[in-house]
């Protein structure tokens, strides 16, 4: 029996959540002899491209200079590429690639990762592309998945989805994630309360309200490490100075997130309206408590199922909870075990199994 040929389509291999999820999904699918996996990255080579290659994943770099600009030779190549697979699995929308796919006989799966662009000014071009995506999702795909109920609800509202095959499949993370760094790479003082926050320094992450909450804490025996880079770094640094947190808050850039979580006392995810939250699962794998805001989106959905008391309404409540945890830094062993056990249901093997079941059902 011939393996089922799957082509994953992503826009880029930047160090973002979608790229990491697709990378880990492909790694898991490679273990299944009944699947043959390949990836098309429309924007060409970037951060994680070599990682795909080193993992033995067949990946092709596209030649898009922007969302609607490729040469005629490339168009023919991409159409041929789509004709040689059984299932085309989109992880982001591109009008040209969608137009190529819908003319083929291959089955199409679309995974909505919730990149809705909240907070960004909506242009006329955005509305046109959204209309085209709405038509594509409702008329041409065979199944659509969502990484959270939050993402599903937003997608149904945004695209007026009436497709019959809609399924929430939570993102998975690799089991037994490890770090190559030495113990206490980030922790310089065993007596300080170390807080981790990880993510792209962008508006959806709402690091500003985390900094405001920290400025209101009643106990100053803490250190916050912000891991990530992005367009809001300069503004956030200014806020750190404004809130007199320069000796408490440190920007560490890109780094070993697993090691940071391992050394930290807690992890805080301050996002607003984020689709999922891989960092929350990674923190639970390390047995760490995760604090979120109630408008966090998909990540709040995950945290609330395990620990509803770690979901706060505003910066004032966040400050009170942080203060309490600093004053009581010893975590209960039963809670640590419960978090690790809870994280197991978000494994990549479970996600891959559900995705395969979906493939076979269409």
Phi/psi class of residue 271: alpha, beta or left (left: φ > 0; alpha: ψ in -120 to 50)? beta
Determine the pLDDT at residue 38.
97
Residue 49, Cα to own-chain centre: how many angstroms? 17
pTM exceeds 0.75, yes or no: yes
Domain map (residue ranges) of the chain: 4-174+347-361, 193-345
Rounded to an integer, the average pLDDT of 242-253 is: 96
CA within 13 Å, CB half, 176: 1
Say if residue 87's pLDDT is above 70: yes
Q: Model confidence at 120, in pLDDT bands (50, 70, 90)?
A: low
Q: Which residue has the higher pLDDT, 236 or 75?
A: 236
Helix (H) or strand (E) holding 10: strand 4-10
The pLDDT of 44-68, averaged and rounded, is 88
Q: Return d(Cα 177, Cα 179) in angstroms, integer.
A: 7
Nearest to 212 by CA among 229, 224, 201, 228: 224
pLDDT above 80 for 237: yes
**Using an 8 Å Cβ cutoff, are 147 and 170 in contact?**
yes
pLDDT at residue 135 tops 80 = yes
Decide: helix, strand or coil at residue 173: strand
Cβ pair 38, 31 in contact under 8 A: no
d(CA 292, CA 271) in angstroms, rounded, equals 8
Q: What is the mean pLDDT of residues 148-174?
A: 91
Backbone angles phi, psi at 10, to 5 degrees: -125, 160
pLDDT per position as a tens digit, 277-286: 899 999 999 9
Query: How would residue 162 be classed by pLDDT, with cut points 50, 70 and 90?
Result: confident
Q: Tell me the pLDDT tens digit for each residue of 173-207.
A: 988 766 666 677 788 888 889 999 999 998 889 99
d(CA 8, CA 59): 9
Q: Using an 8 Å Cβ cutoff, are 80 and 103 in contact?
A: no
DSSP label at residue 274: B
pLDDT tens, 2-55? 999 999 999 988 767 889 999 999 999 999 999 999 999 988 888 889 999 999
- What whole-number distance in Å separates Cα of residue 332 and Cα of residue 347? 24
Q: Distance between CA atoms of 89 and 14, rounded to whole angstroms?
A: 19
- Asked if residues 221 and 250 have their Cβ atoms less than 8 Å apart, the reply is no
Write down the mean pLDDT value for the chain: 91
CATH class of 4-174+347-361: alpha beta
The answer, yes or no, to whether residue 169 has pLDDT greater than 80, is yes
Cβ contacts of 36 within 8 Å, gap of 6 or more: 3, 4, 5, 6
Angle at 24 between CA 52 and CA 256, to 5 degrees: 85
Q: Which residues of 300-320 are buried (b: 16+ CB within 10 A; e: fewer)?
A: bbbbeebbeebbbeebeebbe
pLDDT of residue 186: 85
Q: pLDDT per residue over 299-351, tens digit each?
A: 999 999 999 999 999 999 999 999 999 999 989 999 999 999 999 999 999 99
Out of 3.40.50.2000, 3.90.380.10, 1.10.3720.10, 3.40.50.720, which CATH number does the structure's domain 193-345 have?
3.40.50.2000
- Tell me, yes or no, if the two domains 4-174+347-361 and 193-345 fold the same way: yes
- Asked if pLDDT for residue 163 goes beyond 80, the answer is no
CA distance 179 to 256: 7
Q: What integer pLDDT is reported at residue 103 of this predicted model?
A: 80
pLDDT score recorded for residue 181:
65
The predicted pLDDT at position 17 comes to 80
Give the number of residues written for the chain. 362
Side-chain half-sphere CA neighbours of 54 within 13 A: 6
The predicted model gives 205-227 an average pLDDT of: 95
Question: Region 52-80: what's the mean pLDDT?
Answer: 86
pLDDT at 71 over 80: no
Distance CA 63, CA 219 (A): 53
Q: Which of 294, 290, 295 is nearest to 346 (CA)?
A: 290
The two three-digit tokens of residue 233, written as one number: 């770094």
What would the mean pLDDT of 101-118 be, rounded to a whole number?
Answer: 85
Identify which has the larger pLDDT, 92 or 121: 92
């Amino acid at each position: 029996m011939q393996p089922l040929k799957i082509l994953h389509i992503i826009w880029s291999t930047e160090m973002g959540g979608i790229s990491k999820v697709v990378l880990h999904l492909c790694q898991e699918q490679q273990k299944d002899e009944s699947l043959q996996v390949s990836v098309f990255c429309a924007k060409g080579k970037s951060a994680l491209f070599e990682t795909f290659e080193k993992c033995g994943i067949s990946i092709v770099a596209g030649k898009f200079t922007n969302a609607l600009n490729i040469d005629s030779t490339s168009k023919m190549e991409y159409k041929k590429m789509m004709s040689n697979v059984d299932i085309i699995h989109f992880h982001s929308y591109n009008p040209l690639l969608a137009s190529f796919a819908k003319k083929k006989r291959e089955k199409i799966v679309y995974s909505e990762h919730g990149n809705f662009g909240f907070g960004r000014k909506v242009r006329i071009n955005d509305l046109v592309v959204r209309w085209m995506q709405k038509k594509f999702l409702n008329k041409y795909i065979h199944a659509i998945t969502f990484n959270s109920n939050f993402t599903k609800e937003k997608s149904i509202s945004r695209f007026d989805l009436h497709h019959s095959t809609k399924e929430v499949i939570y993102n998975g993370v690799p089991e037994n994630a490890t770090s190559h760094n030495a113990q206490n790479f980030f922790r310089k003082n065993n007596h300080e309360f170390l807080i981790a926050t990880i993510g792209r320094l962008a508006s959806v992450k709402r690091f500003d309200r985390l900094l405001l909450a920290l400025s209101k804490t009643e106990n100053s025996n803490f250190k916050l490490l912000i891991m990530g880079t992005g367009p809001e770094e300069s503004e956030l640094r200014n806020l750190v100075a404004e809130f007199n947190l320069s000796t408490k808050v440190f920007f560490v850039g890109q780094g070993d997130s697993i090691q940071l979580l391992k050394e930290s006392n807690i992890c805080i995810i301050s996002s607003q309206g984020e689709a999922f939250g891989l960092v929350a699962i990674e923190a639970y794998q390390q047995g760490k408590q995760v604090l979120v805001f109630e408008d966090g989106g998909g990540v709040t959905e995950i945290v609330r199922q395990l620990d509803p008391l770690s979901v706060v309404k505003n910066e004032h409540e966040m400050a009170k909870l942080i203060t309490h945890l600093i004053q009581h830094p010893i975590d209960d062993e039963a809670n640590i075990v419960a978090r690790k056990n809870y994280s197991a249901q978000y494994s990549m093997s479970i996600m891959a199994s559900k995705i395969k079941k979906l493939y076979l059902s269409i």
